[in-house]
Structure 1
Amino acid sequence: MIKFKILRPILLTLLLIPQIIFAQHSPQSSLQLQEKIKHIIDTAGGKIGVGVQGIDFKDGFIINGNHGYPMMSVFKFPLAFAILQKVDKGELKLSQKFHMPKEKLDTNTWSPMVKDFPNQDLDMTLADLLTYTVSKSDNNACDFLYTQVAGGPAAVNKYLHDAGVKDISIVYTEGEMEKDWTLQYKNWCKPAASLQLLQLLYHQKLLSKSSNDFLIQIMRELPDWGKRITTLLPNDTEFIHKTGASGVNKQGIMAAFNDIGIVTLPNGKHLAISVFVSDFKAPKERATNVIAVISKEIWDYYK
C-alpha cells in the first residue's frame, strides 16, 4: 500500500493544476486585457470594434460590438462562401471559364488581374476569379462574381442570413461604392458576425471539405501588404484572413480599415480575431499600427 506521505505531493500538484490554468485565463485577467484594448481604442480615436473568440476552446469577448462597421473588401470573404456553395450544389465548377470583355473592366480601380493581363479580353476560371478576389482583393473579379455569378449583393446577403449570420449587410458592389462615398457604410458587419463566419469556415459548417479547403488556402495567400493583425506577431505565425480598406476623403478620414482572421497559437489552438477601424484619421500606416498593437495584446494573453 502506498503511504499518504508519498501521495500527498502528487495530490497537491493535481489540485494546483486547475488553479494554474484558471489563473492564466480568469475572468479578471480577461477584463484587464479588455481594459488595455479599450485604452488603445480611446487613444487612437475613430470607431473601432474588436472581436475575439477561441475556435477550438471556450474563451473570447467583443468590444464595441453594437456598431455595424463598413467592411469594404472584407465582403469578398462571404462572397466566396456563396459562390463555393453553388459549386457544392453542382451549379458551378472551379474549372469553369468566364469571359470578360476588356471594355467591361475598370482600369482605374484596384485590379491586379487587369495589371497581370493588360488591355485584353479575359477568360478566367472560377478558381482564378476567386483567388484574385480573396487573395489579391481584386475589384473587377469581385464585381464580376457578384453581378454575373452570385446573383447580386442581395442574393449573397440572403444566403448569409439564411445561414444564420444576421448582423451583416451586403447591398452594393465595389463599383457602386467607388461612385458614392456614403454607400460603403451600407455594407456593414458587426464583430460578432465576422467571428461567426470564421467559425463556420474553421468547423466546415457551410461547405464541402474540398470547397472549404480551397477557401482556407486562398485566405492564406494574401500578400505581405495585407499584414495587419500579424504585423507584431512572430514571422512564422499561421494565419488565414481577409482585409478591407476604403480610400480617404477630403478631410483625411478613412471609412474603413479592417482585418479578420484565424491565428494558430503556439500551443496549437486557434483564435479568431476581428478588428474593424472606421472613421479614422489617415494615414493607413497609423491604422495598421492600431490593429497590430491590439492584436499583440491579444496574442500575448492567449499564447
Structure 2
Amino acid sequence: MNEFDKNNHLSFLKTLLTMRILRVYLIALFLVVGLNVNICAQRVDYLQPTLQGIVDKYQATIGFSVLDLENEKTYSVNGDMHLPMQSVYKFHLGLAVLSQVDQRKLSLDQKILIKKSDLLPDTWSPLRDKYPNGGVKIPLSELISFTVGQSDNNGCDILFRLLGGPSKVQTYIFSLGVQNIAIVATEEEMHKDEKVQFTNWATPNCSVQLLNLFYKRKVLSEKSHAFLWKVMTESTSGPKKIKGLLPPSTSVAHKTGYSGVNKEGVTASSNDIGIVTMPNGRHFAVAAFVSNTKENDKTIDSMIAELSKAAWDQLNN
C-alpha cells in the first residue's frame, strides 16, 4: 500500500469513527430527551389522582379545577358541578364594569355618589367604614377597588345598580362564551334569605375558563386588564386559601367568596378563584369551591390550600 492509499485509508477510518461517535451521541440525546419528556408527562398526569385523593379526605362538597394556562390542559374534581359563588361573582362584576369603561360608557375617573341609604349596616363593608355618613362622591376606580379588592358588599350592589342589575352582568359573561353560570341576585337579596345564595352559581370549569380569557387579555383593554390585575393581586382577602401553602412571595390574582356559618353550623360556601404566577414564569388558574360542610374555617381554607399546592408542585417544573 503506497502512501496515498494509506492516507485515504486513515481518512476513511477517521470518518467512520466520527460517524459512529455521532450516532452514539444522537441515540443518547434522544434517550435523555425522551426520558425527560416522559418524566414530565408522568408528573403532570399524576395531578388528577392527587386532587381526587385530597377531596376524598374531607366531609364537604368540593369542586376544584386547575388550568395550565400555557398548554390549556384542565384537571378537575367535580369540575361541572353547580356551586354557590358568593363574592366570587364580584370578579365577574368587575369585568362587566370595566368592559363599559373600555366602551367609553363609563370612566374610571368619573365620580359615583355614595348615599347614606347605599350603606347597609349589617353586611361586610369597608366602604361604609370609611364613609359612614355617605353623601360623598368617589372615583369609579375606588369603588371597584373596594368591591373586588376588599369584597365590599355595599360597593357590589352600587355597581350592580350602575349597570342595571345582576342580569346585565350575566348577559355580559354569556357574551364571552362562558355559559355554566348564573348571576341573578344582589348581596342585599342574599343577606335577606340565605337560600338565595344558591341562585348565584358557577362551575369550577367555567370559572377557570373565564380566568383564562382574562389572563390571555381577550376580555379587557390593556389598561383595564392591568388595573383589575393589580386590584386582585393586592387583595388581602383569604390569605390562607389559594395562597395558604404557596411560597410567601407568590403572586396570586384572585377573588374569594364566603357565606359564613349558619345556625346549624353549616358553611354553605367558601371559595377562591385566581391566577397563580410560578417562579418559572408559567401560570395556572385555580377555581376552588367548598360547599355544605360543618368543617371549621381553618380546615376549609386548608382544603383549598392543599389542592392549590398540589397543582403548584406538579406544574412548577
Task: State whether TM-score is above 0.5.
Answer: yes
Deviations 1:250-281 (A, max 9, x none): 11111111111111122211111111101121
Where does 1:97-108 land on structure 2 (aligned, <5 Å)?
97-108=111-122
Q: Which residue type is aligned with residue 96 of structure 2?
A: A
RMSD: 1.6
Q: Which sections of structure 2, spanning at least 5 residues, go unmatched?
A: 1-14
Task: Tell me how far 1:15 sits from its aligned partner.
Answer: 3.9
Match of 1:265 in 2: 278
Aligned mate of 1:179, from 186, 192, 202: 192
- SS of the equivalent of 2:57 reads helix
Where does 1:1-303 land on structure 2 (aligned, <5 Å)?
2-26=18-42, 29-30=43-44, 32-147=46-161, 149-223=162-236, 225-303=238-316
In 2, Cα distance between equivalents of 1:98 and 1:222: 22
Task: Tell me how far 1:125 sits from its aligned partner.
Answer: 0.8
In 2, Cα distance between equivalents of 1:293 and 1:16: 33
Task: Tell me how far 1:10 sits from its aligned partner.
Answer: 4.3
TM-score, L = length of structure 1: 0.94
In 2, Cα distance between equivalents of 1:276 and 1:224: 15
- SS of the equivalent of 1:99 reads strand
Q: Which residue type is aligned with residue 19 of structure 1?
A: L
Higher mean C-alpha deviation, range 274-283 or range 240-249: 274-283
The number of residue pairs the alignment matches comes to 300
- SS of the equivalent of 1:90 reads coil
Task: Tell me how far 1:7 sits from its aligned partner.
Answer: 4.7
Task: Tell me how far 1:195 sits from its aligned partner.
Answer: 0.6
Identity of aligned residues (%): 39
Structure with the greater alpha carbon radius of gyration? 2
| Contact residue 165 and residue 193 of structure 1 kept, 8 A | yes
Higher mean C-alpha deviation, range 114-123 or range 83-92: 114-123
In 1, Cα distance between equivalents of 2:192 and 2:258: 16
Q: Which residue type is aligned with residue 13 of structure 1?
A: L
Distance 1:141 1:298, change over 3 A: same
Q: Which sections of structure 1, spanning at least 5 residues, go unmatched?
A: none
Task: Tell me how far 1:143 sits from its aligned partner.
Answer: 0.5
Hey, which bits of structure 1, 4+ residues long, moved more than 6 A?
none
